Structure 1
Amino acid sequence: MSPLHNLPEETLILLLKKKNQQAFSYLYDNYSEALYGVVCRIVASSEHAEEVIQDVFVKIWKHVDLFDAEKGRLYTWMISIARNTALDYRKSKAVLNEQKNQPLSNIVNSKEEQDQTQIEQSAKADFIGFRNILDKLKPEWRILIEMAYYEGYTQQEIAEQLDVPLGTVKTRTRAAFLQLQQLLKEYR
């Protein structure tokens, strides 16, 4: 067991900002699976997800000084980095070209692999209790958060998928975030 095992988040953040290798190893060991789950939901293959997760941890290491505890928890900040990095990767020209040139059998196999990975990662991501917090949201709010942050949909895509106006998606998403923020404060 790591000597950092029961370290308060504030102390962990201070160590990370001092570029402490042991603190970063602890962070990776305890959060990589949950972040990998977020990335897998957005990126089509586990091979690509592994590349993205490396980029995510490099960004966390390089930019930990930008983390502001007043704006939220460390885990929430890391999820945001993981999600944005995965979305950037998925939208990159190389990935789009690769997807266009894939045989149909690869697409089907990739989708099956992604579905299995999502099931496995969803179970693993709950170790931090976020699933319990998310389950406290209204169902119409929870689906928006899941589609945006776990599946990588844009607000426009969510509006099209759910057949609701874009303004409604934006309003509900804002309300969901406000309630999530309150629930996370209570969780602390």
Structure 2
Amino acid sequence: MTFIEKHIIELLQEKDERAISLIYDQYAAPLYGVILKITRNEAMASDVLQETLIKVWHKSHVYDPEKAKLFTWLFQIARNTALDALRKSKRKSDKEIQIQNRDVYPNEDGIDKEDRDLINAQINRLDKKYREVLETIFFKGMTHMEAADYLNLPLGTLKTRLRNALKELRTINIGLFIIIVSCLL
């Protein structure tokens, strides 16, 4: 172990902020290189490097020099943070693609205009909070979790409103309810 490594470890254990500066000076370039190789995006790599240093600071009490060299520990945190950022980015882009391509009537021949107008008229008779839930789940094609996030509601509240909306639709027009369900399947 080099003198600078020992010094950085001591500073980390003492929660001295100079440790992060020294880590940055000594290890930022190789860590950035690893992160960039994983993310393949310079902006993301810069953000991940910063997040890595924050994690190092917060997890400094966990580091044990007997288990791993300092760079190995730093490398592992950087690698895991980069992989997490990639997964998060992929989930976000998948969600955006799905939302953009959703359409309740992708095939206009699937439901005729009369039925569509009847469905809209019946749904418009519902309370606004029920209409919003039906529109996000059935017409925008969101999952329950996505709809809850979109409407800024707890998941349980969203499910209760959905159940109540469907009950109310049944009472408004049992025949219409059957049409809606058959169109959505």
So what's the TM-score if we normalise by structure 1?
0.46
User: Quick one: higher RCO (CA 8 Å, sep 6+), 1 or 2?
Assistant: 1
